[in-house]
Amino acid sequence: MGKTLCWILPLINLTENLSACPLCRAQVAAVIYSQAFGINLLLVLLPIPVLAALAVGIYRADELMGLAGKGR
Amino acid sequence: MSSGLLIGAGLGGFVDGIVFHQILQWHHMLSSMFPPNNLVNLKVNMFWDGIFHSAVWVMTAAGLALLWRAGQRRDVPWSGKTFLGSLMVGWGLFNLVEGLLDHQFLGIHHVVEVAAHQAAWDAVFLLFGAGMLLGGFGFIFKGRGDKISRGGG
């Protein structure tokens, strides 16, 4: 956890300074990096591991059922 | 198949992002939570769109890596029908998973945020996914008999 924070905090600082226009940069950063950052990240990324798990599951099921013609 | 699934899901993700988020601007990843009716909210949504599309990019790259590995195996038939079917299944799964999770259960955005018939647009999105899924499995079953190895030999 400590090692993760060591690189993620400078990255957040970098993106805060590079992103958004100077007029609203602080406001945008305040909304993005609020206490809800973690939950928002989870909400946004949730479909990806679900899709990856489904892909692996379908592939394994296909292997078991022999539909892919492997080895034929 | 697994490479096709991941690449297909990635294609679905990029079409959603490019067409719906950027060109039509019908929705963004968190547009129900941060309505893009002011500049700050629009930029916040753009950030989270970027995070999501980064993950889609990684998923697509993983699919390409798996495709490369499959191409090096002699026991894997190089079936165009199977690959096309896998791409369609992947795209369909993207629509179904993202549609059910994000639009229905979590409600973090909808296909058209400001539409009068939001549910109808969400339903069309899901139906398209189901259609791609069924069509994709059709192609996969058709490709079962393909025995062409890589290189056509």
- Position A36 scores a pLDDT of 92
Q: Residues B42, B36: contact at Cβ < 8 Å?
A: yes
Report the residue from B52, B76, B94 with minimal CB separation from A45: B52
- Position B144 scores a pLDDT of 82
| Cα A30 versus chain centre, distance | 20
Q: Among A18-22, B27-31, B71-75, B101-105, which is the least confidently predicted range?
A: A18-22
Q: What are the pLDDT digits (tens) for B47-62? A: 999 999 999 999 999 9
- Position B143 scores a pLDDT of 87
Q: State phi, psi for B110 to the nearest 5 degrees.
A: -130, 170
What's the average model confidence in pLDDT over A40-49? 93
**Distance of residue A2 Cα from the nearest chain B Cα, in angstroms:** 23
- Reading phi first (left if > 0) and then psi (alpha if -120 to 50, else beta), residue B35 is in beta
Q: Are A44 and B98 in contact (CB < 8 Å)?
A: no
Q: Are B75 and A51 in contact (CB < 8 Å)?
A: no
- Position B69 scores a pLDDT of 86
Q: Are A28 and B44 in contact (CB < 8 Å)?
A: yes
Reported ipTM: the value is 0.81
Q: Residues B100, B129: contact at Cβ < 8 Å?
A: no
Q: Give whole-number Cα distances, B82 to B1, B59, B73, B114, in Å.
A: 7, 20, 16, 39
A17-23: Cβ within 8 A, 24+ apart: A19/B43, A19/B47, A20/B43
Q: Residues B132, B89: contact at Cβ < 8 Å?
A: yes
Closest residue in B to A36 (Cα) is: B33
**Is the predicted pLDDT of residue A2 greater than 70, yes or no?**
no
Q: Is the pTM of this model over 0.90?
A: no
Q: What are the pLDDT digits (tens) for B78-97? A: 888 999 999 999 999 999 99
- Position A7 scores a pLDDT of 63
Q: Are A24 and B39 in contact (CB < 8 Å)?
A: yes
Q: How far apart are CA A43 and CA A29, in angstroms?
A: 18
